[in-house]
Amino acid sequence: MIEHRPFAKLGRFDNDWLNARYHFSFSGYHDPARMNWGALRVWNDDEIRARSGFPPHSHADMEIITYVREGAITHKDSLGNEGRTEAGDVQVMSAGAGVTHAEYNLEDGPTRLYQIWLLPKARGGKPYWGAAKFPKGERSGKLVALASGFAEDQETGALPIRQDARLLAATLAPGSRADYAPAPGRNLYLAVAKGAAKVNGLALQERDAAAIRHEEKLTIEATEEAEIVLVDAP
């Protein structure tokens, strides 16, 4: 089962510094049919204008992954962590029992990113933040785990999260393909961050997504140069 989620039909929020599109119910956007996809609770497509961002606010009991598509995001939290994450790279924050953080675009141009939230395996625990560089050339033609709750992915460089889930990404040249075989019973959510692609024959345009279950194998074919982001969650 593959359900097309066109970009034009996502929830939306716009103000003077943020243009956001919501794949799932979030903030003032509520759709009872789009509350979550398994443990995946939030997938926001955000464009943050230059020299602006999210002032300090708190989270608890959520695994928050930020995948930067353009520009950079600067993080600062109540644990003393500070960092700047650039396009193509990833940061994760396990909110645990509670953490306060701020996220700002301190660049001269807009920052575009996906913010992805997963429900954790267990509530509470010590908060954690981390970031890593993931050169796009190293995921050319194949899906690579960038954040994961599985030890085998962490051993190859994926950032740790507290859920049996993984975030993967690939860059595909026109006409090339990448395959993915999920374990039975998994909830997959795929977005085309750039370009266009077909997923098991379903055509997706730039910033479209697909909610996927009960597929033994995914075949992702780029119809133009494409950047693919995929979450595999319980």
Residue 49: band (very low, low, confident or very high) from pLDDT cuts 50, 70, 90: very high
C-beta contacts of 6-12 below 8 A and 24+ residues apart? 6/205, 6/208, 7/45, 7/205, 7/206, 7/207, 7/208, 7/209, 10/45
CATH label of the domain that carries residue 159? 2.60.120.10
Residue 9's pLDDT is 97
Residue 192's pLDDT is 98
Residue 16: band (very low, low, confident or very high) from pLDDT cuts 50, 70, 90: very high
User: Amino acid letter at 136?
Assistant: K
35 by Cβ neighbours in 10 Å (0-12 / 13-18 / 19+) ranks as exposed
Residue 13 lies in a domain: yes
Query: How many domains does the structure of the chain reveal?
Result: 1
31 in Cβ contact with 23 (< 8 Å): no
Residue 56 lies in a domain: yes
Instruction: Kindly tell me the sign of the dihedral angle through the C-alpha atoms of 194, 76, 17, 31.
Output: positive
Residue 228: band (very low, low, confident or very high) from pLDDT cuts 50, 70, 90: very high
Structure-block tokens of residue 92: 């994760």
pLDDT per residue as tens digits for the range 64-88 = 999 999 999 999 999 999 999 999 9
Q: What is residue 19's three-state secondary structure?
A: strand
Residue 1 lies in a domain: no
Measured between alpha carbons, how far is 151 from 155 in angstroms, rounded to an integer?
6
Measured between alpha carbons, how far is 158 from 140 in angstroms, rounded to an integer?
16
Domain region containing 185: 7-233
In the numeric block, the tokens 């050169």 are attached to 135
pLDDT per residue as tens digits for the range 158-183 = 999 999 999 999 999 999 999 999 99
pLDDT per residue as tens digits for the range 128-164 = 999 999 998 899 999 999 999 999 999 999 999 999 9
Read off the pLDDT of each residue in 109-131 and give the average, rounded to a whole number. Answer: 97
In the numeric block, the tokens 């996220």 are attached to 103
Select from 201, 202, 194 the least CA-distant residue to 169.
Answer: 194
Read off the pLDDT of each residue in 14-25 and give the average, rounded to a whole number. Answer: 98
Provide, rounded to the nearest whole percent, the portion of the chain with pLDDT above 90: 98
Measured between alpha carbons, how far is 10 from 189 in angstroms, rounded to an integer?
14
Read off the pLDDT of each residue in 195-222 and give the average, rounded to a whole number. Answer: 98
